[in-house]
A and B are shown apart, each in its own frame.
Chain A
């Protein structure tokens, strides 16, 4: 499988919906990211045009927020927490296991665009440490066994 071709028609339709809306830039970027899994770089110019901004300004907003990505990501984005609480409870081994299981380094996406591996500084759920997220779902009190079973669940899906 390859990264999806950007459906320009879909992209333009999303942009047109928000054209000229006040404070509409971030919600629009969120919609685009939701639709495509990332903000395709080709979206920068038309978005800038729709909001009367310079393309460089739009890029500035995208790259400022960790939540937006200009690169395609996997269907499942795995974020392993490397915050202090999780570190103390062994998140380093969780990450090591995850690397091995997925065959990915941090920041990488698998060739079939199924998985992206990332780390974050704290998921705000320290009481469940060590933690991770897959897309919008939290997983806590991780153990190697739990990690494998969670992954299997997504691999099948």
Chain B
């Protein structure tokens, strides 16, 4: 049994968490409200603008340029650099970024006085600046240099007073050369207001003042998350990206979309000589990320030029992989697959599409599987199949899925976050949640670990693993008791199952709930009080979806949401982040054994006929094998061939040795991928595909935003965009008409999947549209689910600890790509296993010792790190490290099977290795 020291923290209700809420307007970052239209004159031009905006904003609206160093539309204005001076009729000079535009002003932005002052300011800045422009990493992107040039300043004729400071570049991500800092404070505001980390702030005063970490330590010893947001926003060479090799300045820039997590940040890829040499946020207000990015997006894309890229088609001959021509590779694949289907039937071939490939590619991939091979053996193999998650959501009968921008999270009245550590898995989601908390939106965080987000929580509930559902029911019971006699609205009480649910709640033993969940009664009460009268949005991640008892937890969540009066269907109450860049899209495109494109059930005749007509084929109504069953059938010898596009099942799934054995047992394995990996090593044919930066396509992010992009560089060597490869295959099989160009497929998708109607239009934002027919079926009305009985979590004395998997910000998924990033590797994070001080003491384990974590299914060996906030009884194992060996701990099982442990926690024991 776990010693009862699991804590529950709950701050006073009026404590908004970190920082005290500088208001950030969702669009501009400035806390302004348009009241009325005013008229003023700038440079003899009469202009109208809403009141409440600054002179600088008013000028920008009219295309009047004013130079700035410290202003950024997404940040609070502070008026630090004084470059944005303007002069009014009375000869007063003012900083336009912090002076409100007002009625009747007559202003000049370039009067002789303004210019003289502006020049002086720049001269003074330059006098303090080292003369190293020619070798500066910031190069042509330096604003200071550009402004000096535009003002015609060469020599300053001032006594130079450069700063004596050492350059910081021990970390592989960014270089801090604060001798070049102009104290604009943008990095600090970005760090505080946008990413809400607070690693740096002004330190000291006057000439000595600089942005610094606490205790003036190097960044890697601070709370810095290496998101690089400060680097992109810094107007000088004070902060720049570190490159291990000389890469040159970008010759070309192309907008794109991050290929890692489900946030889908908008990027600008800078390239030189066919290589991506720089990644920056697109920094447009309409994007999901604005001026921010995370460590992966900013720095880990160097994997694109890893020497492990697959660049030639290869075929296995006498056990060895050999290079072959595209023609031979394609005809070999077509021939073998058709042969196997002839001989063993359509059930003998499986297709793994990709949560990393584009919508167009996934669509054509599943179309090939269904229309040419007549099989529904289709799935992806990420550890977070959107399919499974959506199934759970569908079971709640509260709509299928709706779309909402992450920004909306900053507008709701309460956020309830459960089973997700977004600071690591999807950092930009974390930024939005932290900003919401700083705005004063109450935040409840439920997680067994002390995650970063918990520090911003109004209430944090450190729940024991596998007790989430009963904790939620406990909160519901307290909510039921009401505050000031307020009870539910009609919408709630008239729902199916309400009365029974009430009765069950009334008899719930709250002491037992507290004892089992490890959360104190007071914390429960405060949470219930906080919830009353609010319409929370529940942000729920794989900490819940990958639980064994996921279904109970989801039902409890839905019940709780109905009790708060949110009785609508549609997913507005629930936000389930996707973990990989195109997890949502792959599912929407039909890469799923039992749903058709658009998510329609394969079993329903009407939906099948829609596609049969469109593709002019007959579709099998029998659901295909999901990834787990495909592997198992391969091991048994029933599945003969598997075509894997852009997935690495050996590394991503539990029991890698078993998976490898199963794949080796296949008669024919095709792997189409960009990196040499655990799966491609056992392939019979390797088809080298292209990364997102090397092709055209679209991804669908966790918001339901469909993001199109084009190639920034050509694919390396002989590799080809994945769509082209599928087209080649189709042609080889005499089915060229099924495929076509990206544009042609976009039109086809838009026509056949109404939710994707926006896909082909070239302008503006595209969103997954809400399905039309939803909410009319009485079977789909929301209802209260019965509460399962209170049960102590299972316990096995031989395995007294509970392993929890966690994500780490440098890695995505199983780490196939991110572990090929030179920068990430150089940083040398070791992925230590975390344990509580108490457990370490009782096992005689010291910080840094090597330990073995053994589950009934396998083991991992790692160094241990003592984690102060961790409850005893828990052992936290990070994913993606050590070839993602954490998956050894889990059985190769799917939800329906007995002994399924879930994919997030499992029982284990801990052994100390010799020192």
Partner of B18, one of A41, A53, A58, A66: A53
A60 touches B202 (CB 8 A): yes
Bound state CA distance, A63 and B209, in angstroms? 9
Closest to A56 in B: B201
B203 touches A60 (CB 8 A): yes
Q: Is residue B204 contacting chain A, with contact meaning CB distance below 8 A?
A: yes
B17 touches A60 (CB 8 A): no
B198 touches A55 (CB 8 A): yes
Bound state CA distance, A41 and B215, in angstroms? 7
Closest to B200 in A: A56
Bound state CA distance, A63 and B205, in angstroms? 7
CB distance from B619 to the nearest CB of A (A): 57
Contact digits for B196-228, partner A, Cβ 8 Å, 1 yes 0 no = 011111111100000011110000001100000
CB distance from B215 to the nearest CB of A (A): 6
Q: Which of A98-150 contact B (CB under 8 A)?
A: none
Q: Is residue B809 contacting chain A, with contact meaning CB distance below 8 A?
A: no
B-side contacts of A55, CB under 8 Å: 198, 214, 223
Q: Is residue B529 contacting chain A, with contact meaning CB distance below 8 A?
A: no
B-side contacts of A57, CB under 8 Å: 192, 198, 201
Bound state CA distance, A59 and B212, in angstroms? 9
A44 touches B214 (CB 8 A): yes
A54 touches B201 (CB 8 A): yes
Q: Is residue B19 contacting chain A, with contact meaning CB distance below 8 A?
A: yes
Partner of B198, one of A41, A56, A63: A56
A56 touches B19 (CB 8 A): no
Bound state CA distance, A59 and B213, in angstroms? 9
Q: Which of A44-65 contact B (CB under 8 A)?
A: 44-45, 52-60, 63-64
A-side contacts of B215, CB under 8 Å: 41, 44, 59
Contact digits for B15-37, partner A, Cβ 8 Å, 1 yes 0 no = 11111100000000000000000
B-side contacts of A63, CB under 8 Å: 203-205
B-side contacts of A41, CB under 8 Å: 215
Bound state CA distance, A52 and B455, in angstroms? 9
Q: For chain B, what secondary structure do more than half of its interface residues adopt (helix, strand, loop), or is it mixed?
A: loop
B-side contacts of A53, CB under 8 Å: 18-19, 198
A-side contacts of B203, CB under 8 Å: 56, 59-60, 63
Contact digits for B164-205, partner A, Cβ 8 Å, 1 yes 0 no = 000000000000000000000000000010000111111111
A-side contacts of B18, CB under 8 Å: 52-54
Bound state CA distance, A52 and B18, in angstroms? 4
Bound state CA distance, A19 and B11, in angstroms? 12
Partner of B202, one of A45, A52, A64, A66: A64
A52 touches B214 (CB 8 A): no
Q: Is residue A27 contacting chain B, with contact meaning CB distance below 8 A?
A: no
Q: Is residue A24 contacting chain B, with contact meaning CB distance below 8 A?
A: no
Provided the pairs A55-B198, A56-B213 are in contact, do residues A64 and B192 lie with their beta carbons within 8 angstroms? no
Closest to A60 in B: B201
A52 touches B204 (CB 8 A): no
A-side interface residues toward B, CB under 8 Å?
A: 20, 41, 44-45, 52-60, 63-64, 66
Q: List 19 A-B contacts (CB under 8 A).
A: A44-B214, A52-B16, A52-B17, A53-B19, A53-B198, A54-B19, A54-B197, A54-B201, A54-B223, A56-B198, A56-B213, A57-B198, A60-B201, A60-B202, A60-B203, A60-B212, A63-B205, A64-B204, A64-B205
Contacts A52-B15, A59-B201 aside, 14 further interface pairs with beta carbons under 8 A come to A41-B215, A44-B214, A52-B17, A53-B19, A55-B214, A55-B223, A56-B199, A56-B212, A56-B213, A56-B222, A57-B201, A59-B203, A59-B214, A60-B201
